[in-house]
Structure formats: C-alpha cells, structure tokens
Structure 1
Amino acid sequence: MNSPTSSGAVTLPRVIVSGLSGGAGKTLVSLGLCRAWARAGSIVQPFKKGPDYIDAAWLALAGRTAATNLDPFLFPSDTLVSLFLHAAAGREIAVIEGNRGLFDGKDEDGSASTAELARTLRCPVVLVLDITKMTRTAAAVVAGVKAFEKDLPLAGVILNRVAGERHQNLATRCIERDTDVPVLGALPKLPGNPIPERHMGLVGDRDMTASDAILNSLADIIEEHCDVPRIREAAEAAGPIDKPDKPFFLDAEPAGSKVRIGVAKDEAFWFYYPENLKALELAGAKLVEVDLLRPADWPDLHGLYIGGGFPELKAKELASNNIIRQRVRALAEMELPIYAECGGFMYLCDALVVDGLEFPMAGVFPVRTELCGKPQGLGYVEAKVVAKNPFHDEGAVIKGHEFHYSLCSAADGTVLNFALKMNRGHGILAGLDGLLYKNTWASYTHLHAVGEPHWAKRFVAAAIAYRRAVEGKPAGRSV
C-alpha cells in the first residue's frame, strides 16, 4: 500500500514494463499484469508513459481504475513525481507501460525516454524482449541494455515470441549466465493480436464489446507463462520515493461550481486526460457530458470542450446531425469559450473528407480536413503563443503533443487567425496551430493540464466572463 515513511518519503511497489521498440509485447504484458493482480484482489494503479489515450483506456479497464499518463517532456520532474504519487494514493501496486524503445526519447540523448522515467521514479524495469530466431544473441542484447545507461534499475526480462521449450531454455540459460539478469517469463508466439488495431493504434475500448474477456485471457497468458510472484517481488523491492515539498495543485479542494462546461463524449470524441477534467472542476467548472452524434437537448452552457477521437469513423453520423452542428456553430458565434483538440478541431471545420467522400461539419473555421493513409503529425509539440486568446497568455511557450492522420487545407486567399507558432511539431498549416475565431480555439496540439496548469483556470475564467455577459449574473454565484 502507498504509505509515507518517517522521513516523508513514500513506499509503493511499482514496475515499468518496457521493450526495445514498439511492437515488442509490452502492452500485452502490462495489460495482463494489471488484470491478473486486479482480479486477485490487489488495488492496482495503471500508468502509461507518454501521451497516449487508447493504451491508457485499455490499462484502465485492465486495472479497474482510471489510468494516468506520465511523461518527462510534458512535466518537470518534481511535477511528474507529484502526479505519480497523487494517482497512486491508496493503491497497493503500480504498473507503468513504457512507450517505444526503452531509451528512445525526443533527441539523441534519449531525453523523456522510458529509461529517464524509470530513474526519476526509481522504478524497476521489466524488459519484454522479442527473441524471434535468436538465442545467445539475446544475452548480448540484455548485457548491452544493462550497461548502456548508468543506474538503470533493470529487474528482469520477459522473453516474447518463443518458438518452443528448447528455444526458451537455451535463451534463458544464456541470459542468466552471461548477464545475471533474471528471466521472469517466456511468452509463446500467439496466433494473432488479441487486441485489434486500427490506423492510430489499438482499437479503442469503446469499440470492443468483449474487452473484459480479452483482458482476462491476457491475464491467463501472463499467469501461465510468467513468474508473476517474482515480478511482484521486483516491484516490492523498489525503494521509497521522496515526496516533493511543493504542494500539488490536483490535491487542492474544489473551488465550487461557478460555470457549466460541456464535454463532448460519445463514440467519436473521447480522448481526454482525466487530470484535464479534474483541473477544470477544481477551477470551478461543473462538467456536463454532451453528445455530438445525437440530436439531444443540451443544458445552458458557459463553455465547451471537444477533445480528440475518431470523427473520421463517425463522419456520416456527425454530418447527419444538423441540429448539433448548427448549435455548435451558433455557440461559437455567440462567443461561447470553446476549446477543441485534434478530432475536435476536425469537427469545427467546414468539411471532413474520408475515402474521397466529403462530409459537412460544424463550419466554424473555413478550412477542411482529409484523412490520409499515413500520419501527418506525430510527436511532441512546443509552440509559442503569438495571438491574444482566452486560454493561454500571449508570449508563453506551451508543450503538448500531436498524432493525426488528417491533413488540413484552405482555399487560396482564406484569412485565418492562428495563435501558435510551432517551435517543434507540424500543427495545422505552415508551422502554425491554434486557430482562433472569437472565443473558439482549435488545434491539432493536445495539452495536459498538469504540464500547463494555467489552462483550466483560464478556461473557467473565460466561461465566467461569458456567463456574466450573457446572463448578467455575478461571478461568485453557483450554477
């Protein structure tokens, strides 16, 4: 159980599951461990390293509690530790799924890598190693990983895609004899991917009616082929973590509901960090889920948040819902504060093109997006705010990430107002992002409220100003 020591440090069993590259098998292992421990009665806290909504959604299902993203690029180290301890409070064990290869980061020094996260959190690493057509060479790979960076807490290896018992035994003997790194499991070659994929990664949990059965089957695989008790021992061997002195803003008491902010949540839009929603509530927002796919009544809103997702998969339904499209456009004209990210930006455009078919969207911005076969923006974002807007201070530099297969285009001569100049990343057009129209913001850039804590306060302040202007009510009155 997460508990403070006499010195103020916190003790919490924890493990990071990593690999040498994407596709190594770390997602399968992470999900299987989370579900195996959760169904055995442990209180598990899942984490995902890096900006990822879909893996985090699956981890939440596997661990039976909301998952939290951790990223050394998005958060300063003290903030990262505070977020980790905040999310893991009251839990018995934490499982962190890494991303990409163990040492892969944003530059040649591996900055913001899974290895950096492991050192920051003093967290044991279990390496998932694909040994397809490999035996003794696997020992050389493990030896290289062990020696590559100083103070890497490598706790053990799980072999993946093992051809049979002889293959497993030979590779295990070589690794344990020549590296002293224990082999904690050996997974056979599976006939297919138990979790289907699509263009942006794993299929979202909202599309998987049999997700619980899938996760239980992954737990069965892990329990059959891995030494789960030894992995637990490695997690329990993790030393205490020093708690930062600075108070963490998500630990604060809510300010009380002052405004009502709609959050688009349906089959098309569901990419939200839980901490973003929590930050809005702490700043004084009452959050109300709204649906962009169905022509339902909405309550009076003082702000609207449209996150990312898969609007391209629901383009026909979104286009057919004229009532909601017209409502969103009317709210933008009324200067309602609207914040849209990626899929939300695509919805606010004139049109979305999928497989050559054009579907009308909300029409707030005179541009259109088209789904492409390859990513058009992928990775970390750093951008300077170059225009006045309700959500970010002009002149500030914000960090975030983008991952989109759509490409934006505008007719010649179209006048557009952008708020972000990209120092890193692609953005919407010509190295610019953050389209503005009145009080509406739309960007390919996703941000995390823990890394940009001003955002929720500014959003709620804009919503309060809107409410006062429209309803003539004083700022302190409850919703």
Structure 2
Amino acid sequence: MNFPRLVLAGLSGGTGKTIVTLGLCRAFKNLGKKIKPFKKGPDYIDARWLGLASGNFATNLDPFLMPVDKLKALFLEKGVGFDISIVEGNRGLFDGKDVQGSCSTAELARLINAPVILAIDCTKMTRTVAAIVAGCKAFEEGFNLAGVILNRTAGERHRNILQKSIETYTDVPVLGMLPKLSENPIPERHMGLVSNTEYGPQDESLDILGKMAQDCIDLDKVFEIASNSGVIPGNHDPLWSGIELVTDKQPVIGVVRDEALWFYYEENFEALAKAGAKIVEVSLVSTDKWPELDGLYLGGGFPETLAAELSSNIFIRDHVRALADSGLPIYAECGGFMYLGEDVEYEGKKFPMSGVLPISTCLCAKPQGLGYTSGKIIQENSFFPVGTEIVGHEFHYSLCISRTGGNPVYGLKLDRGKGMADGYDGMIKSNVYAGYNHIHALGAPCWAGNFVKAALKFKEGNIQDI
C-alpha cells in the first residue's frame, strides 16, 4: 500500500516548525492534494490549526499515551485515502521523557518508518548549520533525515552561505529556505499558538503561510520524499480491539464543546460511541436548554478567558450542579474540572463556577503542572477500577485550592506529575471524577466502557453513588 508520509521536526520548541508545517499543509491543499495532518504529542492547539490549514481533522500520535501497536493502527486507519500524511513533531527531534529519548519525535518516525524533514531556525547562524545537520543525521540509527528547511533566513547572502555549507559538508538536501517574517501571522501565548477560537483572521494567516511555502519550498521534492517512505513495519491489530459494545440502548453522553472547553481527542468520542453511547454536544456559554443526558464529559480549554461569561450563565451553572447532585456520571479534565469548582480567580477577580466540587482554582503566572503523567487509581469510582495504571498529561497554569471543610477525596495517586495536590489527582464526589490529568482512550481502554456502563445505570434509574 502506498502511504506517502513525512515527519516535520525541529531542534527545540520555538524553532518555527509549526509555522513550517502549517505552510506545507496549506500549500499542498492549494495544489489540490488531500492532506491528513497529525500532531506528535499531547497538543490540542497546534492540532486544531493543522486541521484548519489542511481542511481535515488532525490526529494526535504519542508513544507515551498509547501502546505502540495502537499508535501504528491509529496512524494507518486515519491516513488511509489521503495523498499525503504530514506529522508535526514536538520539542526537539531527539527530546523524549528520559536520557534515552524514549517517546521522542525521532522514535515516532522510526515506528511509522517516515522520513524526517528538519526545520532549523537559522537566526544569527551560517556555517554552523552544517555541523547541526551532520550531527543530527549521525546521532541515532534507524531514522531517515531526508532533508532540511531553513527558517528565519535574513537575505540572499545569508541563504547562499547556509545552503553551500550544508551541501559541502553533508549529503542532506536543502528543500527550502524561508525568510524571517516581520511578525508572526499567528500570535503565540503561554501554551504555544493562540487558539483559533480566539483569533479572527484564520484563513488570511494560513494563506500567507501557504504562499510562503509555495514560493520558498520545493514541494515536488517534499512530496517525492514522502511517497518513497516504504512499508510500515510490524503487524497491526484492529484499532478498536479491546473496546467492546456495552449496550445497544444508546445512553446519551453530553460533551461540552464551545469556546471555553474544546480540548479533546476525537478518538475519545469514537471509543464512547464504540461502547454504545450517543454523543451530543452542549455548551456552558450558551443559555440554550440541554437535552436529557445520561452522562457528561467536560474536556479542557481556557475557561479563564471566558470566566465572566461562564459565571454569568447562572442557569447552566445551576443545571450542571443539579445533574451532579442527581447522580449523573460526570468526567472532567483540567478546564472542565475548573468549571466544576466553586470559583476561578483570574486577573485579580473571582468568578463563581458551578460549585459541584469543594475547591477553587487560581490562575498563576507560571505553569503549575506540565508534562506527562502516570499513576494508579486508589479509590473506587465510576470510570476506572482500583489498581488501574493510568498514563496521561497535564498542562495547567491554575492552582487548585481546597475549600475549608471540603474534605476532598482523590482517586489517582501520581508517581509522575503534579496533579491537584501533592501528587494526587482525580477528585471524586458521588459519580463525578475530575482532575487536571488528560487521558487518551487508546491508552486507557477501560474508560469508555465504564463511562457507558455508568451512563446506562443512570438511564435505567439504577444509580449507585461512589
């Protein structure tokens, strides 16, 4: 099977690889190619922009969050039928979770046997670029450094010496040289790019990047490299093996998807549907009445930027609290967990939230939890059996503050990560489970089926509080 693919990597975060990848996606789209974008690692915002640039949803790939066989199966299933699959790496090419580079972009490239194109920030650098390219090519075995794209070049003289240096000292082709932009077409913030839900001129910005890529990158050569990737090694089990149909009664699980909360992996919805749920979208910002629900899923996002709107929507705040009090199974991650608290403090003001949980959150100037997580479930709950090993990730600037007399119960003890308090996460109250940790359904195969089972019990009036 011909499966054109490539990985676009950088030397570190902030080198401009996202801008280069967005430009490639939009340029190929403008040429009539059908592009499937992927994002390596736990990143919702870049994935959203990649989807906009290519015209197709982006899928996250991460060898930490899911088993290798599931990762390969996911890549194959989502990439079938496209002209080219473009994977944007994260951080530096060889940066992983340990000194061996486990779960790095280079490791991902080996797993899917994809050629790597390296984007290099050439600011205030000339001949040294050749040493960097030669070093990257020789650093690890088993991956194919197929070309480089030189970013933030200053002019023709600069570009000339950069290209000649690489051609003289390495055999890695220069596939393009991009100029230094006077300003970033897509603004950045503490979590990387500003989300498309907050930034207006999306297509205009992406068209700028697409034209730059068409003018400055050898797109024919890039496509040729992707088309000569070869086979993906190993056997691949069906993607959804291990997630079984729980019921055909279709309990309704509401998913909050609006301007405040939209950090989700699409595969989490697919897993819930495979287990038998009917998914409906609801909003915390709108005053529209919700349909009757048997479960509720609140993902991550930026509730702080819409804290005033969320707080002023008293009807929905009261409704969510009433649903929790009725025993509805509710699963919340990060921003969704913040909404379930008493209030959110942002820029010196406190905004009342739903009051489901006896905690408050306060936005800080620096990250309070950042990176991969792992731990074990230590308390009975509706979603994970006690003893379940959990892997995930967290990225939050908010700090969790327990209310006096709240007596919180935590379900997850972390051996890696910060969580909500002293290495604990996953606050439990009745059938509510909420915390900073994000999971991927392929890495936590019991989650979807247990969620649907809990929703079915609620639907049938067989409610058992934890």
Q: TM-score, normalised by structure 2?
A: 0.97
CA distance, structure 2, for counterparts of residue 251 and residue 457 of structure 1: 10
Cα gap change, 1:94 to 1:253, in 2 (>3 Å): farther
Residue 285 in structure 1 maps to residue 248 in structure 2: no
Conservation of the 8 A alpha-carbon contact between 1:256 and 1:282:
no
Residues 32-47 of structure 1 mapped to structure 2, 5 A cutoff: 32-47=23-38
Match of 2:333 among 338, 341, 351: 341
Residue 87 in structure 1 maps to residue 75 in structure 2: no
Answer with 34-43 or 383-392: which moved more.
Answer: 34-43
Counterpart position of 2:268: 276
Amino acid at match of 2:388: A
Residue 20 in structure 1 maps to residue 11 in structure 2: yes
* Identical positions, percent: 54
Shift of 1:36: 1.1
Residues 180-214 of structure 1: CA distance to partner in whole angstroms, max 9, x if unpaired?
11111111110011101222221111223321121
Conservation of the 8 A alpha-carbon contact between 1:257 and 1:281:
no
CA distance, structure 2, for counterparts of residue 322 and residue 65 of structure 1: 36
CA distance, structure 1, for counterparts of residue 231 and residue 242 of structure 2: 20
Conservation of the 8 A alpha-carbon contact between 1:82 and 1:244:
no
Match of 1:294 among 286, 292, 317: 286
Counterpart position of 2:441: 449
Counterpart position of 1:111: 102
Residues 55-66 of structure 1 mapped to structure 2, 5 A cutoff: 55-66=46-57
Shift of 1:147: 0.5
Answer with 406-415 or 324-333: which moved more.
Answer: 406-415
Residue 400 in structure 1 maps to residue 403 in structure 2: no
Residue 354 in structure 1 maps to residue 346 in structure 2: yes
Conservation of the 8 A alpha-carbon contact between 1:265 and 1:289:
yes
Q: Secondary structure at the match of 2:38?
A: strand
Residue 189 in structure 1 maps to residue 180 in structure 2: yes
Match of 1:229 among 216, 220, 230: 220
Conservation of the 8 A alpha-carbon contact between 1:304 and 1:338:
yes
Shift of 1:90: 1.1
Cα gap change, 1:253 to 1:40, in 2 (>3 Å): farther
Counterpart position of 1:204: 195
Residue 161 in structure 1 maps to residue 171 in structure 2: no
Conservation of the 8 A alpha-carbon contact between 1:250 and 1:282:
no
Q: Secondary structure at the match of 1:315?
A: helix
Counterpart position of 1:477: none
Match of 1:323 among 299, 312, 315: 315
Conservation of the 8 A alpha-carbon contact between 1:390 and 1:462:
yes
Residue 134 in structure 1 maps to residue 125 in structure 2: yes
Amino acid at match of 2:69: D
Counterpart position of 1:475: none
Q: Secondary structure at the match of 1:207?
A: coil
Amino acid at match of 2:443: G
Residue 69 in structure 1 maps to residue 69 in structure 2: no
Conservation of the 8 A alpha-carbon contact between 2:72 and 2:236:
no
Conservation of the 8 A alpha-carbon contact between 1:86 and 1:251:
no
Q: TM-score, normalised by structure 1?
A: 0.94
Shift of 1:131: 1.4
Shift of 1:447: 0.4
Residues 38-75 of structure 1: CA distance to partner in whole angstroms, max 9, x if unpaired?
22111110000000000000011111111100001111
Shift of 1:148: 0.5
CA distance, structure 1, for counterparts of residue 425 and residue 56 of structure 2: 34
CA distance, structure 2, for counterparts of residue 211 and residue 250 of structure 1: 38
Alignment RMSD (CA, Å): 1.5
Residue 240 in structure 1 maps to residue 228 in structure 2: no
Match of 1:419 among 386, 397, 411: 411
Cα gap change, 1:180 to 1:226, in 2 (>3 Å): same
Match of 1:303 among 295, 298, 307: 295
Counterpart position of 2:372: 380
Answer with 196-205 or 97-106: which moved more.
Answer: 196-205
Shift of 1:414: 3.4
Gap runs ≥5 in structure 1: 5-10, 472-479
Cα gap change, 1:245 to 1:132, in 2 (>3 Å): closer
Cα gap change, 1:169 to 1:257, in 2 (>3 Å): farther
Shift of 1:248: 1.8
Conservation of the 8 A alpha-carbon contact between 1:128 and 1:157:
yes
Amino acid at match of 2:37: P
Match of 2:304 among 312, 325, 330: 312
Cα gap change, 1:125 to 1:421, in 2 (>3 Å): same
CA distance, structure 2, for counterparts of residue 315 and residue 370 of structure 1: 12
CA distance, structure 2, for counterparts of residue 383 and residue 400 of structure 1: 9
Equivalences, count = 462
Residues 146-171 of structure 1: CA distance to partner in whole angstroms, max 9, x if unpaired?
11001221001111111111111111
Q: Secondary structure at the match of 1:403?
A: strand
CA distance, structure 1, for counterparts of residue 164 and residue 295 of structure 2: 61
Q: Secondary structure at the match of 1:298?
A: coil
Conservation of the 8 A alpha-carbon contact between 2:243 and 2:445:
no
Counterpart position of 2:324: 332
Please list every run of at least 4 consecutive aligned residues from structure 1 whose deviation after the TM superposition is greater than 4 angstroms.
250-257
Conservation of the 8 A alpha-carbon contact between 1:390 and 1:459:
yes
Residues 21-42 of structure 1: CA distance to partner in whole angstroms, max 9, x if unpaired?
0111110111111111122111
Conservation of the 8 A alpha-carbon contact between 1:250 and 1:279:
no
CA distance, structure 2, for counterparts of residue 39 and residue 404 of structure 1: 36
Q: Secondary structure at the match of 1:420?
A: strand
Q: Secondary structure at the match of 2:415?
A: strand
Q: Secondary structure at the match of 2:358?
A: strand
Shift of 1:242: 3.7
Answer with 201-210 or 331-340: which moved more.
Answer: 201-210
Answer with 206-215 or 41-50: which moved more.
Answer: 206-215
Conservation of the 8 A alpha-carbon contact between 1:261 and 1:303:
yes
CA distance, structure 2, for counterparts of residue 253 and residue 372 of structure 1: 42
CA distance, structure 2, for counterparts of residue 26 and residue 263 of structure 1: 32
